[in-house]
Structure 1
Amino acid sequence: MRIPFVKMHGLGNDFIVLDARDGTLPALEATTVRALADRHQGIGCDQLIVLEPDKSATCRMRIYNQDGGEVEACGNAARAVGLLLGEPARIATAGGLIETRPDTAGIAVDMGEPRFEWDAIPLAYAMDTLTMPLGWEELEQPSAVNVGNPHIIFFVEDNDVVRLDQLGPLIEHDELFPERINVNVASVEDRATIRLRVWERGAGLTRACGTGACATAVTAMRRNLVDREVTVHLPGGPLTIAWGEDNRITMTGPATESFRGSFDWDDFA
């Protein structure tokens, strides 16, 4: 059985998109996700995206990381799917309903409202999530927020020197985070500019993370480090993040279709 796919990326965070809105895709196992995501023997991607029918939305977006685990949200994938749909859309995710629309700067995504309660992150026990009394080596006093998926954010003078490849997995798998966590290390340049690197749970270091940009921007705004609209510079490029008076986050940035193809399902099952 040959399955068509679209290869896309948002600022270098790349995806295999499978359109299963007609219900013809076989049941997806973690082993198949890992095989397709393999950059040497598969198609290669950071995340596998599956579009399914949904009665209350344009479609449902399911998101699988390289390790085969399913996650709740992905901002870059939302922009990619928004580009693929080509018109304003409502997209159901495990992290909630989001809306996308074409914009002069690419695709704008209404990412919904952030959650700051400790049990919404979730954490293993109660604590203040704005300034957490915790540290992992040089990374100290982080904040936590859920923007459809869980994030921890550290503000440092120079995020380029942080050994995120070593500290990222240590923090991701800490017992404090029962569903693991995405790790963000940010440097505030001025009231309108943030530099960000992200260790993404289940995927590792990534060139861009849309939900990480949203989580970091909102946290910087809560700490009064930046204004209510900022540019977040990731290794793959910039995203514009605005947090409105209605408490909703809007992320705007590019998405790109790389190529289309097909594969034999049995080769990866």
Structure 2
Amino acid sequence: MHGLGNDFIVLDARTAPLPPLTPAVVRALADRRTGIGCDQLVLLEPDDTHAFRMRIFNRDGSEVGACGNAARAVALLHGAPVTIATGGGPITLTPEAGGAAVDMGTPRFDWAAIPLAYPLDTFAMPVGWDGLAAPMAINVGNPHVVFFVDDAAAVPLATLGPMIEHDPLFPERVNVNVASLAGKDHLRLFVWERGAGLTRACGTGACSSAVAAIRKGLAASPVRVSLPGGDLVITWQEGGSILMHGPAAESFRGQFRWQDYAAPTGAHT
């Protein structure tokens, strides 16, 4: 499945358990040359307090708490309104024509909730990397920093993204968003995703960037966020939950033999 070209392998273990999903198995499945290929792998499992749980693994094998594009894909797959558990907290999914609306919960701004390695003002952090400076830090189920620049497309994010992601300031690494104003209440956004790199779209990145723009007075809700893969619409009011609207699609269904990926060799190790 995919949301704006941000693509996922979705494994449904809600009614039948799967063998252990190790980081090595995730990397093997996510490999675009020798596996199935994806930006993230999504695992659906039973949950004691919600309809089910959605777990998200980046293609490097690391597990993360939230993924907005994956949430819309899962809403489409489930086919009915539902509240589910994620590592970043419960979210509510509502299928819509061609996609879904997702209540992503309330953003967090405290430095310890991002988390940062030490206390800083997260509204405009007094830090910078090669021309990118003073980002806002936000946690929307996973950590983000948002930079506003004149021309987001001109920023060498493939170079700066990994540098910022792995900076010691971010003990759990961080997603890097570079945004510019594209019109009234309209942002153009590029995202370096923690553990995945440059992707065609990032739902939590769009949420974080829209919230940052609203807090800074650069835009008013709702905000249209244009990513390389297409547009999302983000609604948010101070103190409330983030509501994301956007498309999702199923690409194909298939089968694979678990043992082919459970003991990866060569490029999978």
- Normalised by the size of structure 1, how large is the TM-score? 0.96
Tell me, in whole angstroms, the C-alpha distance in 2 between the residues paired with 1:191 and 1:118.
30
CA shift in 2, pair 1:219/1:61, >3 Å: same
Tell me, in whole angstroms, the C-alpha distance in 2 between the residues paired with 1:103 and 1:131.
36
Tell me, in whole angstroms, the C-alpha distance in 2 between the residues paired with 1:79 and 1:225.
27
Query: What SS does the aligned partner of 1:264 have?
Result: coil
Matched, 1:158 2:151: yes
Contact 1:150 1:181 in 2 (8 A): yes
Gapped runs of 5+ residues in structure 1?
Answer: 1-7
Partner of 2:69: 76
Partner of 2:13: 20
Tell me, in whole angstroms, the C-alpha distance in 2 between the residues paired with 1:82 and 1:246.
25
Matched, 1:142 2:135: yes
* 2:248 corresponds to which of 255, 263, 268: 255
Partner of 2:93: 100
Gapped runs of 5+ residues in structure 2?
Answer: 263-269
What does the per-residue CA deviation read over 1:95-124, in whole Å, with 9 as the maximum and x for residues that have no partner?
000001022462000000000000000000
* 2:106 corresponds to which of 104, 108, 113: 113
Matched, 1:130 2:123: yes
Partner of 1:230: 223
Query: What SS does the aligned partner of 1:215 have?
Result: helix
Tell me, in whole angstroms, the C-alpha distance in 2 between the residues paired with 1:222 and 1:62.
30
Tell me, in whole angstroms, the C-alpha distance in 1 between the residues paired with 2:211 and 2:227.
16
What does the per-residue CA deviation read over 1:5-52, in whole Å, with 9 as the maximum and x for residues that have no partner?
xxx000000000000012420011111000000000100000000000
Tell me, in whole angstroms, the C-alpha distance in 2 between the residues paired with 1:168 and 1:66.
16
CA shift in 2, pair 1:245/1:186, >3 Å: closer
Matched, 1:87 2:80: yes
What amino acid does structure 2 have at the position aligned with 1:74?
Answer: C
Partner of 1:63: 56
Deviation of residue 91 (structure 1)? 1.3
Tell me, in whole angstroms, the C-alpha distance in 2 between the residues paired with 1:29 and 1:38.
14
Matched, 1:241 2:234: yes
Partner of 1:40: 33
Tell me, in whole angstroms, the C-alpha distance in 2 between the residues paired with 1:11 and 1:242.
18
Contact 2:73 2:99 in 1 (8 A): no
* 1:171 corresponds to which of 160, 164, 177: 164
* RMSD of aligned Cα (Å): 0.9
What does the per-residue CA deviation read over 1:180-214, in whole Å, with 9 as the maximum and x for residues that have no partner?
00000000123310000000000000100000000
Deviation of residue 246 (structure 1)? 5.5
What does the per-residue CA deviation read over 1:201-228, in whole Å, with 9 as the maximum and x for residues that have no partner?
0000010000000000001100000002
What amino acid does structure 1 have at the position aligned with 2:128?
Answer: G
CA shift in 2, pair 1:104/1:265, >3 Å: closer
Tell me, in whole angstroms, the C-alpha distance in 2 between the residues paired with 1:67 and 1:104.
32
| Runs of 4+ more than 6 Å apart | none
Tell me, in whole angstroms, the C-alpha distance in 2 between the residues paired with 1:86 and 1:113.
24
Deviation of residue 245 (structure 1)? 5.7
Deviation of residue 179 (structure 1)? 0.1
Contact 2:116 2:169 in 1 (8 A): yes
Partner of 1:5: none
What does the per-residue CA deviation read over 1:143-196, in whole Å, with 9 as the maximum and x for residues that have no partner?
100000000000000011100000000000000000000000000123310000
What does the per-residue CA deviation read over 1:66-116, in whole Å, with 9 as the maximum and x for residues that have no partner?
000000000000000000000001110000000010224620000000000
Contact 1:190 1:226 in 2 (8 A): no
CA shift in 2, pair 1:184/1:58, >3 Å: same
- Normalised by the size of structure 2, how large is the TM-score? 0.96
